[in-house]
């Protein structure tokens, strides 16, 4: 609405009220603090112009609520300022208004001041974390915490995990007094507390810290692996030791060993592995085995593994590969040792009948069980000699199968074989012959075009020689 239109409308209202005999008071003005603490005694002032020396009644209200009078002040004739002393309560917060009216006069229309925003600060007390769920839960579940207070308003909340401030993230959502951890993991385990503060006049800070709530987030058990080792008993019989193992999972973990016909045994372990012993007959398929693991929330399964232990059998073969430098000199050898059969082999490498350990100054051994063993050798004087490998059962080393011997000598390895030299020399000779033929043919071809028909001249000479002979 334009200012001009407002003035016109106000003038019309005044004319209308004067015509009806009603008196319009000036608008009062309410003064006071913008905020106060609960239980503080605060005095509000209401000013109004009173040129007609009237007795004016001033009343203090909350905007929108005329049923509850917060204060009353009567101005004698000529008075212009009214006072409203009040003990502040939380319900006083809001927009306050001062209403002015002439006492004992129905001809006067009351007027109302502009609203005065007023905020009531109640110091925070009794912060507490409320959590209705279990204190121990498995990863992947949501964790919801709430912070409540016994008293206080206009609050600010902070959450701490193991004394460290919790910052909002994709999986940590904070909204005022609410903390939601989405798909919690074991990293979210620990002590949680909330810190609540509010301020008065930006100078005084009230705070309350809750006690800690300890939450434990358990790791789900991972898929177990299954491993079979063989044990030779004192009576020369054999047993299979089945090891079930998981990489992660909250302890304790219950391991179950299943066979083709059902459950064989179970064991609750305080470690992430368990071992079961079952009787064994070599070179015979005894069915299938599977490990299962459970730590209270879910059961995971290993792959099915055939229970068949095969003794090592020959022949044992060795293959070799060369490593060359930029000048094509052989600087390294790789030997691969394999047995024809055997599920639990043990490989041993020998140099000139001396057993090689796992690592030496010029060699390195690593096994890729049960398939093969690899020996890396740096070619030099120290590595010269005869190499071979022996393979036996890891559970019974009384019988070992040996491979063929391989002699290693740096000069021999880098010397060209006779057949290679012959091939190179033969190729060189062939190239020389071909180049000579091409040169001779080219010379004859140039002579032919430069001196005429050489072939005709040669034929004429031959005919003359025959004629003379006749």
Q: What percent of the chain has pLDDT over 90?
A: 68
CB 330 within 8 A of CB 414: yes
The pLDDT value recorded for residue 213 is: 97
Q: What percent of the chain has pLDDT over 70?
A: 86
Rounded distance between C-alpha atoms, residue 361 and residue 375, angstroms: 13
User: Lowest mean pLDDT: which of 131-140, 228-237, 282-291, 325-334?
Assistant: 325-334
380-396 pLDDT per residue, tens? 888 999 999 999 999 99
- What is the pTM for the complete model shown? 0.66
Same domain for 27 and 89: yes
**374 part of a folded domain:** yes
Same domain for 187 and 133: yes
Number of folded domains in the chain? 5
Is the predicted pLDDT of residue 164 greater than 70, yes or no? yes
Binning pLDDT at 50, 70 and 90, where does residue 458 land?
very low
Largest interatomic CA distance in the chain: 179
Same domain for 321 and 398: yes
- HSE toward the beta carbon, residue 437, CA cutoff 13 A: 6
DSSP state of 272: S
The token duo for 29 is 């003005």
Same domain for 408 and 324: yes
Binning pLDDT at 50, 70 and 90, where does residue 203 land?
confident
Same domain for 375 and 324: yes
Domain that holds residue 433: 421-469
**7 part of a folded domain:** no
Same domain for 318 and 407: yes
Q: Which of 92, 120, 148 is the last residue of a domain?
A: 120
The token duo for 278 is 């079952």
Q: Which of 413, 434, 450 is the last residue of a domain?
A: 413
Helix, strand, coil % over all residues of the chain, rounded to 5: 15, 50, 35
**196 part of a folded domain:** yes
Same domain for 177 and 262: no
**317 part of a folded domain:** yes
Binning pLDDT at 50, 70 and 90, where does residue 317 land?
very high
**5 part of a folded domain:** no
Is the predicted pLDDT of residue 8 greater than 80, yes or no? no
User: What is the average pLDDT value for the chain, to the nearest integer?
Assistant: 87
**407 part of a folded domain:** yes
Is the predicted pLDDT of residue 457 greater than 70, yes or no? no
**14 part of a folded domain:** no
Is the predicted pLDDT of residue 451 greater than 90, yes or no? no
Rounded distance between C-alpha atoms, residue 299 and residue 263, angstroms: 14
**11 part of a folded domain:** no
Is the predicted pLDDT of residue 241 greater than 70, yes or no? yes
The pLDDT value recorded for residue 129 is: 97
Secondary structure E strands in 233-271 = 238-245, 253-259, 262-269
The pLDDT value recorded for residue 202 is: 84
Same domain for 163 and 111: no
Rounded distance between C-alpha atoms, residue 215 and residue 169, angstroms: 19
Is the predicted pLDDT of residue 436 greater than 90, yes or no? no
In angstroms, what CA-CA distances link 349 with 333, 337, 360?
A: 14, 9, 12
68-127 pLDDT per residue, tens? 999 999 988 778 899 999 999 999 999 999 999 888 777 778 899 999 999 999 999 999
The pLDDT value recorded for residue 401 is: 95
| CATH classification of the domain holding 38 | 2.60.40.10
In angstroms, what CA-CA distances link 307 with 25, 226, 260, 288, 296?
A: 105, 11, 10, 6, 29
Same domain for 195 and 166: yes
Binning pLDDT at 50, 70 and 90, where does residue 265 land?
very high
| CATH classification of the domain holding 274 | 2.60.40
Q: What is the mean pLDDT of residues 421-443?
A: 73
Same domain for 108 and 41: yes
Which of 124, 113, 67, 60 lies closest to 90, judged by CA? 124
The token duo for 47 is 């000013």
Same domain for 426 and 352: no
Same domain for 79 and 39: yes
Q: Which of 284, 306, 328 is the last residue of a domain?
A: 306
């Amino acid at each position: 609405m334009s200012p001009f239109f407002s003035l016109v409308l106000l003038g019309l209202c005044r004319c209308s009220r004067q015509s009806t005999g009603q008196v319009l008071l000036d608008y009062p003005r309410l003064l006071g603090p913008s905020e106060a603490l609960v239980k503080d005694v605060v005095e509000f002032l209401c000013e109004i112009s009173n040129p007609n020396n009237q007795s004016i009644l001033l009343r203090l209200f909350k905007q929108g609520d005329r049923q509850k009078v917060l204060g009353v002040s009567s101005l004698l004739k000529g008075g212009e300022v009214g006072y409203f002393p009040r003990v502040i309560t939380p319900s006083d917060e809001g927009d306050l208004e001062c209403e002015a009216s002439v006492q004992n006069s129905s001809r006067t229309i009351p007027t109302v001041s502009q609203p005065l925003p007023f905020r009531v600060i109640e110091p925070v007390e009794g912060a507490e974390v409320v959590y209705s769920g279990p204190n121990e839960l498995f990863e992947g579940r949501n964790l919801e915490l709430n912070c409540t207070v016994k008293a206080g308003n206009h609050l600010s909340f902070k959450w701490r995990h193991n004394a460290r401030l919790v910052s909002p993230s994709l999986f940590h959502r904070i909204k005022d007094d609410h903390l939601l951890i989405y798909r919690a993991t074991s990293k979210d385990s620990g002590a949680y507390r909330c810190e609540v503060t509010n301020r008065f006049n930006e100078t005084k800070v009230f705070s309350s810290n809750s006690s800690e709530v300890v939450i434990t987030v358990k790791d789900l058990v991972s898929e177990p692996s299954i491993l079979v080792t063989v044990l030779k008993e004192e009576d020369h019989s054999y047993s299979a030791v089945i090891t079930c193992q998981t990489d992660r999972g909250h302890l304790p973990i219950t391991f179950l060993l299943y066979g083709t016909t059902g459950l064989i045994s179970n064991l609750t372990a305080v470690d992430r592995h368990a071992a079961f012993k079952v009787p064994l007959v070599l070179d015979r398929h005894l069915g299938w085995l599977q490990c299962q693991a459970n730590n209270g929330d879910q059961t995971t399964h290993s792959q099915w593994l055939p229970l068949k232990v095969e003794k090592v059998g020959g022949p044992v073969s060795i293959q070799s590969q060369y490593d060359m430098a930029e000048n094509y000199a052989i600087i390294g050898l790789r030997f691969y040792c394999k047995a024809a059969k055997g599920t639990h082999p043990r490989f041993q490498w020998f140099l000139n009948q001396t057993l090689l350990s796992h690592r030496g100054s010029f060699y390195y051994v690593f096994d890729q069980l049960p398939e093969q063993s690899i020996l890396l050798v740096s070619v030099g004087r120290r590595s010269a000699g005869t190499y071979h490998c022996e393979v036996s059962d890891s559970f019974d080393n009384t019988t070992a199968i040996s491979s063929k011997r391989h002699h290693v000598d740096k000069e021999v390895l880098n010397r060209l074989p006779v057949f290679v030299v012959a091939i190179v020399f033969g190729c060189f000779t062939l190239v020389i012959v071909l180049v000579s033929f091409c040169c001779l043919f080219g010379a004859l071809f140039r002579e032919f075009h430069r001196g005429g028909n050489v072939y005709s001249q040669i034929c004429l000479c031959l005919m003359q020689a025959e004629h003379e002979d006749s």
